[in-house]
Chains A and B, each alone.
Chain A
Amino acid sequence: YALFTCTYKCLYVSGDSSSTTTGSASPVPNSYEYVEGGGYSGTSLQSPPTSVPAKQAPPFGYNYPTMHPAYQQNPAPRPDSSPSHGGYNPPGYQPYSQVLTLLSSALGGLGGVSELEAETLRPVNLLQERNILPPKYTPPPEPNLSNDLRKVNCSPDTFRCTLTNIPQTQALLNKARLPLGLLLHPFRDLTQLPVITSNTIVRCRSCRTYINPFVSFLDQRRWKRNLCYRVNDVPDEFMYNPVTRSYGEPHKRPEVQNSTVEFIASSDYMLRPPQPAVYLFVLDVSHNAVESGYLNVFCQSLLDNLEKLPGDTRTRIGFVTFDSTVHFYNLQEGLSQPQMLVVSDIDDVFIPTHDNLLVNLKESKELVKDLLNALPGMFTHTRETQSALGPALQAAYKLMCPTGGRVSVFQTQLPTLGAGLLQSREDPNLRSSTKNVQHLGPATDFYKKLALDCSGQQIGVDLFLLSSQYSDLASLACVSKYSAGSVFYYPSFHHVHNTAQSQKFQKDLQRYLTRKIGFEAVMRIRCTKGLSIHTFHGNFFVRSTDLLSLANVNPDSGFAVQMSIEGSLADTSLACFQAALLYTSSKGKRRIRVHTLCLPVVSQLSEVFAGADIQAITCLLANMAIDRSISSSLSDARDALVNAVVDCLTAYRANGSNIQPSGLITPAALRLFPLYVLALLKQKALRTGTSTRLDERVFSMCELKCQPLLQIMRMAHPDLYRIDNMTDQAALHLNESVIPQPHLLQLTAEKLTREGAFLMDCGSVMFLWLGKCCNETFIRDVLGYPNYASLPSNMTEIPELQTMYSERTRAFISWLLESRTFHPAFHVVKDDTSAKTSFFQHLVEDRTESAFSYYEFLLHIQQQMSK
């Protein structure tokens, strides 16, 4: 042990203001795993668990509501009595003491069931209760922690667990038949983030976990890890509190007060000097691309945002264009105009000159602007229809190799030349087949290999696909998937014929170019001993069991992690998860963003059910289903989703809640489970029987895999509001503007009326559906047209009118958009246009030709359960 301590000190700047000496003594590590530190040590000391949070013991005699007898149809407005618990109390429930006793005895843990748990465990008969949708957005269930811990816990927008009560053992988890996993949005744009600069970043000596609010201080000098329970020393510097400028209060430091913090890392966390921000744009300039007119939009957008590109004085930029040849642009400072260099040897592509292809943005700004102005006009008369994407990517890789950075690829057709060429694999006749969908996986491993090479050199590749024809996104997306990039897809993009797409592309680019970016990043997820990581979902390369290598990290991507319980958590009452993201900011600073989530550990099955976070479960299941559909088949994945519901409800029934043997009983916490799974089955990614282009399906899969949770939920189960009769009742008042709060409606045509106007928010697209007899004042005041008949069929905006109606509507819509980073496309859909199918396909509770309605689905589940 002594040996360990001393070698350890050499490698890790620890304690005692000895950082100057240790800094020089440490050998230069040459891998990130090494720098970021390892996971657990097998020999860590086992100490008794930390203090148990006081469980709330409510007065016995909470009124359990009974089943509502009627299958309610009316969305009677009801007061949202308990938004904070994520539940609501439908009216008309009478206390029913017999059920109470039955239930409590059945669920065990009778004394400890808190009021909150009782609400989430209230049995709901789905076949009888219709109005299960909460009237407005509900936050995820709060973990049952003491108030102090709850206050400092990580925000659910950043870090969520599918089960807010962690089961003690794998056996208990298996009994519940619910997936255990985490949903992360680690690099989210935050308005408030404590940034800590200190010489020593306090971490556990053995498991390398960062200090966090859930550690316990034994006394002034020592602290105990909450992940491996090793006792560590508090370094001297840590005793001083920079915020209050007082000494001797380590528990008041920002690291210990916030569960999301960012550290400025010292040179110990670097393998090389932090890289500058480097951006390379690889543009398709074949005939097809010129025809679609994207080049204009792109160049204009980049010109507008050139100043706002994240970076510092070292920022570098470069351009590569390609058709059947690859073109480079020499932008050396001092040249009168950009010089184009053509490489026609695409079988063995080489870099014509090593300097000046990636230039300092500041020094060559004029040339870059010249190029961007000239670029759209340079290829207007091209007859080149071939596309050599593979060679262009190889060139980009070679160009970026020495530095790393971000490559943005714009592609408008199937690559037809050189390495990585692809064939059309889609049979249009099979688009709506109910049988298996083929070709969901890549056709070649060229793009994957390239992505892995890129990832190794810290190059992230983002793909923009703007194509009207099949372009084999399943193969192309690999280049982004494994290099931690993102994929954007604009089906049938045309700058004139498809204005909605064009606007969306423009807005997305605006966000894409200006959003924060982290380079050469790694993310490690640590968790309490006994828990282990099973699978990761998202865009990255998994380097080690708990380490993700992210060449680029962007604020719009989310990750999902499947967990399993390897040991027993019986000797602890709290489980902690910590995600540490080490990255280089665009300003060349090495930073570590640390998120810590703490959850209680439970031993009762009922408590596991009570803490289920249904949205997180749905997202994790969606990720798992997509993996399954690629590795096995789509029908397998669909079956697995249905089985997930069936198994879980069977498990709940077997648990002893045999109050009402008929009907489909779920605990209130899981009442939306069947609905969400049905919504997933009707997603573009997973649906069968409805005509779906292969590329759109694959793109939908990509989105489900790498979007953050809220976005996935909006995609899967859009929010529907009636907005023609919004009132100021119960409205939000924010900064002098009044934001009306209409109720969420169920996604069924039954809720639509011919007199109304309905807003559907699907995350990346929004529909405003107008009934035939829609209120004329609404049309006039909000949309600016005299009547329904005069409305054009392709409106994509709400005009800014100075009427109360319009202001209220716009206030509501902009409030919906507030938290979103990408602007959704907006469509005004009239009841009689062909566009209405795209609206109606989102009404997931309704029956379609090939899919169940919600009620049928419930019956189907019930039937499966009774087997």
Chain B
Amino acid sequence: MAFTFAAFCYMLALLLTAALIFFAIWHIIAFDELKTDYKNPIDQCNTLNPTVDRVKKIKRVRLALKLVLPEYLIHVFFCVMFLCAAEWLTLGLNMPLLSYHIWRYMSRPVMSGPGLYDPTTIMNADILAYCQKEGWCKLAFYLLSFFYYLYGMIYVLVSS
């Protein structure tokens, strides 16, 4: 039993995937908030100062929308690590998401800065539903891969 580079990769991936899961949850909440945005005036009235709450909400949504790029970078980062560690199966499992990310970023609306979401089209029901679905799928993927990395790490540690 030795601590190899592959084991290190799995450990790192494990930690980063935990972060990604957090991102995904944030993403889902943000889009849900956009969709049900201020639909419930009772909610507004219950808090003493509704405006503070609203500003917080908007900030939360904005932050979540900005987290897209870090998420992609983190994912690319541990894919490269797996490549270096020659963990082909793991890399192969990550390929679909990687290519999806690349496709998604290539087909983003025309924008000068980094980012993926266009404030003028985000309220379109189709796009909103798509983004929500995307969030759930990613959450599921990250959860599964979290356990896979856990298994992979133990396997590498034990077998070597």
| Interaction A to B | yes
Of B6-14, B35-43, B88-96, the stretch lying at the interface with chain A is B35-43
User: Which residues from B are CB-within-8-Å of A543?
Assistant: 123
User: Which residues from B are CB-within-8-Å of A533?
Assistant: 125
Asked if B54 and A31 sit within 8 Å, CB to CB, the answer is yes
Of B22-30, B45-53, B136-144, B149-157, the stretch lying at the interface with chain A is B45-53
Asked if B111 and A545 sit within 8 Å, CB to CB, the answer is no
Instruction: State the CA gap A27–B111 with chains docked (Å).
Output: 38
Asked if B42 and A43 sit within 8 Å, CB to CB, the answer is yes
Asked if B123 and A206 sit within 8 Å, CB to CB, the answer is no
Encoded as 1 (CB less than 8 Å from any B CB) or 0, chain A from 419 to 454 comes to 000000000000000000000011111101100100
Beyond A452-B120, A533-B125, A535-B124, is A545–B35 a contact (Cβ under 8 Å)?
yes
From 206 to 246 in chain A, residues with beta carbon under 8 angstroms from any chain B beta carbon are 206, 208
User: Which residues from A are CB-within-8-Å of B41?
Assistant: 37-39, 41, 206, 208
Beyond A27-B49, A446-B112, A448-B120, is A534–B42 a contact (Cβ under 8 Å)?
no
Question: Shortest distance in angstroms between B133's beta carbon and chain A's nearest beta carbon?
Answer: 16
Of A1-9, A341-349, A361-369, A505-513, the stretch lying at the interface with chain B is A1-9
User: Which residues from B are CB-within-8-Å of A3?
Assistant: 46
- Residue from A11, A446, A535, A542 within 8 A of B45 (CB atoms): A11
Determine if A21 is an interface residue (Cβ-Cβ < 8 Å). no
Asked if B51 and A31 sit within 8 Å, CB to CB, the answer is yes
Q: List 18 A-B contacts (CB under 8 A).
A: A7-B45, A29-B51, A31-B51, A38-B39, A38-B40, A40-B40, A41-B41, A208-B41, A442-B110, A532-B125, A534-B124, A534-B125, A534-B126, A535-B124, A535-B125, A542-B120, A543-B123, A545-B37
List the 6 closest pairs (A to B, CB-CB), nearest first: A38-B41, A542-B123, A7-B45, A534-B125, A39-B39, A544-B37
Determine if B44 is an interface residue (Cβ-Cβ < 8 Å). yes
Please, which residue of chain A has its CB at the minimum distance from the CB of B37? Answer: A544
- Residue from A4, A34, A442, A532 within 8 A of B46 (CB atoms): A4
Determine if A73 is an interface residue (Cβ-Cβ < 8 Å). no
Encoded as 1 (CB less than 8 Å from any B CB) or 0, chain A from 544 to 556 comes to 1100000000000
User: Which residues from B are CB-within-8-Å of A33?
Assistant: 38
Determine if B114 is an interface residue (Cβ-Cβ < 8 Å). no
Determine if A758 is an interface residue (Cβ-Cβ < 8 Å). no
Asked if B50 and A34 sit within 8 Å, CB to CB, the answer is yes
Instruction: State the CA gap A27–B44 with chains docked (Å).
Output: 12
Encoded as 1 (CB less than 8 Å from any A CB) or 0, chain B from 126 to 138 comes to 1000000000000
Determine if A564 is an interface residue (Cβ-Cβ < 8 Å). yes
Question: What secondary structure prevails in chain B residues at the interface with A?
Answer: loop
User: Which residues from B are CB-within-8-Å of A37?
Assistant: 41
Determine if A482 is an interface residue (Cβ-Cβ < 8 Å). yes
User: Which residues from A are CB-within-8-Å of B110?
Assistant: 441-445
Q: Give B residues with C-beta under 8 Å from A.
A: 35-42, 44-46, 49-51, 54, 109-112, 118-120, 123-126
User: Which residues from B are CB-within-8-Å of A442?
Assistant: 110
- Told that A34-B54, A542-B124 touch, could you supply 7 new A-B pairs with CB distance under 8 A? A31-B54, A34-B38, A482-B120, A532-B125, A541-B119, A545-B36, A545-B123
Instruction: State the CA gap A127–B33 with chains docked (Å).
Output: 51
Question: Shortest distance in angstroms between B21's beta carbon and chain A's nearest beta carbon?
Answer: 28
Instruction: State the CA gap A443–B109 with chains docked (Å).
Output: 10
Determine if A30 is an interface residue (Cβ-Cβ < 8 Å). yes
Asked if B126 and A445 sit within 8 Å, CB to CB, the answer is no
Instruction: State the CA gap A558–B30 with chains docked (Å).
Output: 31
Give the one of B37, B44, B45, B118 with max A CB within 10 A: B45
Give the one of B38, B44, B50, B54 with max A CB within 10 A: B38
Determine if A92 is an interface residue (Cβ-Cβ < 8 Å). no
Please, which residue of chain B has its CB at the minimum distance from the CB of A562? Answer: B125
Determine if A111 is an interface residue (Cβ-Cβ < 8 Å). no
User: Which residues from B are CB-within-8-Å of A545?
Assistant: 35-37, 39, 123
Encoded as 1 (CB less than 8 Å from any B CB) or 0, chain A from 26 to 50 comes to 0101110110011111110000000
Question: Shortest distance in angstroms between A483's beta carbon and chain B's nearest beta carbon?
Answer: 11
Instruction: State the CA gap A562–B125 with chains docked (Å).
Output: 10
Please, which residue of chain B has its CB at the minimum distance from the CB of A452? Answer: B119
Instruction: State the CA gap A562–B110 with chains docked (Å).
Output: 25
Instruction: State the CA gap A737–B35 with chains docked (Å).
Output: 56
Instruction: State the CA gap A8–B109 with chains docked (Å).
Output: 41
Please, which residue of chain B has its CB at the minimum distance from the CB of A208? Answer: B41
Instruction: State the CA gap A448–B118 with chains docked (Å).
Output: 10
Question: Shortest distance in angstroms between A409's beta carbon and chain B's nearest beta carbon?
Answer: 19
Question: Shortest distance in angstroms between A195's beta carbon and chain B's nearest beta carbon?
Answer: 27
Give the one of A39, A206, A442 with max B CB within 10 A: A39
Beyond A7-B45, A533-B125, A542-B123, is A445–B40 a contact (Cβ under 8 Å)?
no
- Residue from A4, A27, A444, A541 within 8 A of B42 (CB atoms): A4
Asked if B125 and A41 sit within 8 Å, CB to CB, the answer is no
Asked if B111 and A445 sit within 8 Å, CB to CB, the answer is yes
Please, which residue of chain B has its CB at the minimum distance from the CB of A6? Answer: B45
Instruction: State the CA gap A8–B45 with chains docked (Å).
Output: 6
User: Which residues from A are CB-within-8-Å of B125?
Assistant: 532-535, 562, 564
Give the one of B40, B41, B44, B45 with max A CB within 10 A: B41
Instruction: State the CA gap A729–B35 with chains docked (Å).
Output: 58
Instruction: State the CA gap A118–B49 with chains docked (Å).
Output: 57
Instruction: State the CA gap A41–B40 with chains docked (Å).
Output: 5
Please, which residue of chain A has its CB at the minimum distance from the CB of B129? Answer: A534
Question: Shortest distance in angstroms between B73's beta carbon and chain A's nearest beta carbon?
Answer: 22
Instruction: State the CA gap A38–B124 with chains docked (Å).
Output: 18
Please, which residue of chain B has its CB at the minimum distance from the CB of A541? Answer: B120
Instruction: State the CA gap A574–B104 with chains docked (Å).
Output: 43
Instruction: State the CA gap A33–B112 with chains docked (Å).
Output: 29
